[in-house]
Amino acid sequence: MLLDIRNLVQCFGTTTVLDGLSLQTGGVRALVLVGPSGGGKSTLLRILAGLDVPVAGSVAFDGEQLPRDEPALRRYRRTVGTVFQAYNLFPHLTAMENLLLPLMHVHGLTDLEARARVREPLERFSLADHAHKRPAELSGGQKQRIAILRALVVQPKRLFLDEPTSALDPEMTAEVLEMIGELKDHGTQFVLVTHEMGFARRVADEVAFVGDGRVLAHGPPAEIIDRCDVPRVRSFFARILS
Amino acid sequence: MPRWLAHIIVVILFAALIALAFSRVDYVWNWDGVWEYRQKFLQGFGVTVALSVASLVASTLIGILAAVLLGSKHTMLEAVGRVYVELIRGTPLLVQLLLGFYVVASAVGLENRYVVGVLVLALFSGAYMAEIFRGGLAAIPQTQRDSARAIGLTPWQSLRLVILPQAVRLVLPAVAGQFVSLIKDSSLLSVIAVSEFTLAAQEVNSFTYSTLESYLPLAAGYLLLTLPLSALSRVLERRYRYEA
C-alpha cells in the first residue's frame, strides 16, 4: 500500500492529539506504528480505519482519498478490517456467529456461503473446535484470534490492528503475533500499533514513530529502532530496550 | 441442603410464627361469611390480571419512548423525558390517580375509569421502566459500538444486532421486578372505584366484618401473580449472566 497522510490534526475538546501529522510511505505491506502512550498512535489508526474524521488534513491509500461523510466512510470501513485491544467480539454471540455476522449482514452472503467461507480459516488457525463457544468461554488469545479472523474473512484490502496483544499475557501474545506474522506471509496488508518491538522489527516493512501528535521518524525497522538520530526517538528506544 | 428445601423450611417456620401470633390474640375465624362472596373475589382477581397486563404493555411502550427522550441529544426533548421521570417518581401514585381521574380525565372528557386507571398506572410504571432501559443501553461498552461500526454495520443494524440483544438481557431481571411492583400498585386503583381485587376485598370486609378473612385471600392472590414473575426474573438473571 502507498500511504499519503498530510497535515492531520485531531482534537478532543481542548486537547490536540494529532498536531499536523504527515507521513508518506513507499509500497509497504506491513506498516508498524510505535511510540509513547498518548502520542497519538491509536488516534491516527482510528482515522486510517475510517472510524473517526480528523479536524483537518487528508489521508490517501494508494492514491484514494478517505471520505469525510459517514455513509461513504461506512462503505470504506466495509473494505477494510479493524481489531481493537480487547472486547472486539459480541458477547451474546458464539465465535461462529461473530464471524458470520458481517458476512451475512454487511456483505450479503447466505448462511451457507458464509459458513463455507469461514471453515478453512478456522481450521488453519486451529480455532474450529472453539467456534461454538461464547467469548466468555474463550481465552484472551483465542478471542483476539477470532476477532482478527472476523476482520479477515470479509477479504479486506488491509487490516488495522490497534495494540491487539496489549491486554494479553506473554503466551497468548505469542500466539496472536504468530498469527499476524503468518498473515503477512500470505500477503495480507496491515497497519499495526504495538509495543512489541521484537515483533515490529521482524514483521514491519516500515516503522513510523508517532510522538507528540506527529511522525517523528519513519523508515525500515532497524533504522528507526537501532540507529535513529532523532533524540526523542533514540531516548525512547534506549529506555524500553535496555 | 438444596435451595428448595431451605425455602420450604423457612416458609414453615414463618407460618408457625404467624400461627403462634394468632393463637395469642384468640382470633375467631369466620370463613363462611367470606366464602359466600367468592365470586366477587374471582371477578376482582380477573380485573386485576387484565389491568396489570394492559398497564404492563402500555408502560413498556411508554418506558421505551421516555428512554429515547432521556438519551436524546436535543436539549428540549431530554428535558421533557427528565421532568416526566422525576415528577412521576417523586410523587405518590395515589395523588397521580386522583389528579389523573378527577382533573385531567374529566377535563378531556374521558369517563371510563378503567381506561384512566390503566393509563395512570402505565405512566407511573413507565417512568421506572425508562430509567431501567436507559441504564441498560448505557451499560453496553463503547467498544461494542466501535466494533459494530468497524465491521460496517449501519446505526440501525448495530442497534438491532449488537446493542439491543445485549441490553435486553441486561434489563430483563429489573423489568420483571418492575412488573411485580406494577401488579401490587394496581391495588391503588380502588380509590377511583375500579372494581379490582383490592376493592373486592374491601367490599367483602364491609359486608361481613371479617377483616382478616377478607384480606388474607387478597395477599394470597397477589402472591399467586407475583411469585412466578419473581422466579422468572431470577431464572433470566442466571441465564444471561455472562461476562463481556
In a domain, B51, yes or no: yes
Contact at CB, A74 and B152, closer than 8 angstroms: yes
Separation between Cα atoms, residue B242 and residue A134, nearest integer Å? 9
Beta bridge partners of A190: A30, A159
Mean pLDDT, residues A17-40: 94
The pLDDT assigned to A199 comes to 92
Sheet holding A159-162, edge to edge: A81-83, A159-162, A190-193, A30-34, A206-211, A214-219
Report the run of H or E that residue A5 belongs to, with start and end. strand A3-12
* Cα–Cα distance list, A96 to A80, A81, A177 (Å): 20, 17, 22
Mean pLDDT, residues A151-159: 94
* Cα–Cα distance list, B216 to A223, B75, B85, B93 (Å): 86, 49, 34, 24
The pLDDT assigned to B244 comes to 40
DSSP state of A7: E
Q: Name A160's Cβ contacts closer than 8 Å, sequence gap at least 6.
A: A45, A48, A49, A80, A81, A82, A83, A190, A191
Which of B149, B161, B243 minimises the CB distance to A101? B161
Separation between Cα atoms, residue A212 and residue A37, nearest integer Å? 10
- Residues A178-206, buried b or exposed e (16+ Cβ, 10 A)? ebbeebbeeebbbbbbbebbebbbebbbb
The CA distance from A39 to the nearest CA of chain B, in Å, is 21
Domains of chain A: 3-241 (3.40.50.300)
Evaluate whether A213 touches A23 at the Cβ level (below 8 Å): no
Confidence of residue B60 (pLDDT cuts 50, 70, 90): very high
- The maximal CA–CA distance of chain B, rounded, in angstroms, is 74
Asked if pLDDT for residue B241 goes beyond 90, the answer is: no
Q: Name B132's Cβ contacts closer than 8 Å, sequence gap at least 6.
A: B63, B171, B174, B175, B178
Beta strands in chain B (DSSP E): none
Residues of A in contact with B148 (CB under 8 A): 90
Percent of chain A at pLDDT > 70 equals 100
Report the run of H or E that residue A9 belongs to, with start and end. strand A3-12
User: What rounded mean pLDDT belongs to chain B?
Assistant: 91
Contact at CB, B166 and A78, closer than 8 angstroms: no
Separation between Cα atoms, residue B114 and residue B47, nearest integer Å? 9
Tell whether the torsion through CA atoms of A125, A126, A131 and A137 is positive or negative.
negative
The CA distance from A105 to the nearest CA of chain B, in Å, is 8
Separation between Cα atoms, residue B119 and residue B130, nearest integer Å? 16
Contact at CB, A91 and B242, closer than 8 angstroms: yes
- Residue A104 forms contact with B (CB below 8 Å): no
Terminal Cα distance for chain A, rounded:
33
Contact at CB, B242 and A136, closer than 8 angstroms: yes
Counting the structural domains of chain B, the total is 1
Query: Which CATH number belongs to the domain containing residue B85 in this structure?
Result: 1.10.3720.10
Residues of B in contact with A90 (CB under 8 A): 144, 147-148, 161-162, 166
The pLDDT assigned to B29 comes to 85
In a domain, B16, yes or no: no
Percent of chain B at pLDDT > 90 equals 64
pLDDT digits 0-9 by tens, A158-210: 999 999 998 899 989 999 999 999 999 999 999 999 999 999 999 999 999 99
The pLDDT assigned to A167 comes to 87
Confidence of residue B210 (pLDDT cuts 50, 70, 90): confident
Evaluate whether A91 touches B242 at the Cβ level (below 8 Å): yes
Mean pLDDT, residues B205-220: 89
The pLDDT assigned to B233 comes to 83
Evaluate whether B87 touches B130 at the Cβ level (below 8 Å): no
Cell 491486554 -> residue: A167
Cell 455476522 -> residue: A101
Cell 496489549 -> residue: A166
Evaluate whether A188 touches A149 at the Cβ level (below 8 Å): no
Give the angle A106-A107-A111 at the CA atoms, nearest 5°: 100
In a domain, B13, yes or no: no
Residues of A in contact with B153 (CB under 8 A): 102, 105-106
In a domain, B8, yes or no: no
Asked if pLDDT for residue A5 goes beyond 80, the answer is: yes
Contact at CB, A82 and B150, closer than 8 angstroms: yes
Range of the domain at B45: 37-239
The CA distance from B237 to the nearest CA of chain A, in Å, is 14
Which of A75, A89, A105 minimises the CB distance to B153? A105
pLDDT digits 0-9 by tens, A107-143: 999 999 999 999 999 999 999 999 999 999 999 999 9
Separation between Cα atoms, residue B231 and residue B81, nearest integer Å? 31
Contact at CB, B150 and A135, closer than 8 angstroms: no
Confidence of residue A87 (pLDDT cuts 50, 70, 90): confident
Residues of B in contact with A81 (CB under 8 A): 150
The CA distance from B193 to the nearest CA of chain A, in Å, is 47
Cα nearest neighbour of A135 on chain B:
B244
Asked if pLDDT for residue B243 goes beyond 70, the answer is: no
Which of B146, B153, B162 minimises the CB distance to A106? B153
User: What rounded mean pLDDT belongs to chain A?
Assistant: 94
In a domain, B14, yes or no: no
pLDDT digits 0-9 by tens, B24-55: 988 888 888 888 888 988 999 999 999 999 99
Cα nearest neighbour of A48 on chain B:
B150
Which of A106, A134, A136 minimises the CB distance to B151? A106
Instruction: Give me Rg for the CA atoms of chain A.
Output: 18
Contact at CB, B243 and A105, closer than 8 angstroms: no
Contact at CB, A92 and B146, closer than 8 angstroms: no
* Residues 63-92 in A contacting B (C-alpha not used; CB under 8 Å): 74-75, 77-78, 81-82, 84, 86-92
pLDDT digits 0-9 by tens, B92-122: 999 999 999 999 998 998 889 899 999 999 9
Q: If you write DSSP's letter for every residue of B198-227 in order, what string do you get?
A: HHHHHHHHHHH--HHHHHHHHHHHHHHHHH
Count CB-CB contacts under 10 A for residue A37.
Answer: 9
- Name the 3-class secondary structure at A4: strand
Separation between Cα atoms, residue B17 and residue B12, nearest integer Å? 9
In a domain, B4, yes or no: no
In a domain, B10, yes or no: no
The pLDDT assigned to A145 comes to 94
Confidence of residue B242 (pLDDT cuts 50, 70, 90): low
- Name the 3-class secondary structure at A106: coil
The CA distance from B244 to the nearest CA of chain A, in Å, is 5
Residue ranges of the alpha helices (H) in A41-169? 41-48, 70-77, 95-105, 111-124, 140-152
Report the run of H or E that residue A208 belongs to, with start and end. strand A206-211
In a domain, B55, yes or no: yes
Q: Check if the interface score ipTM surpasses 0.85.
A: yes
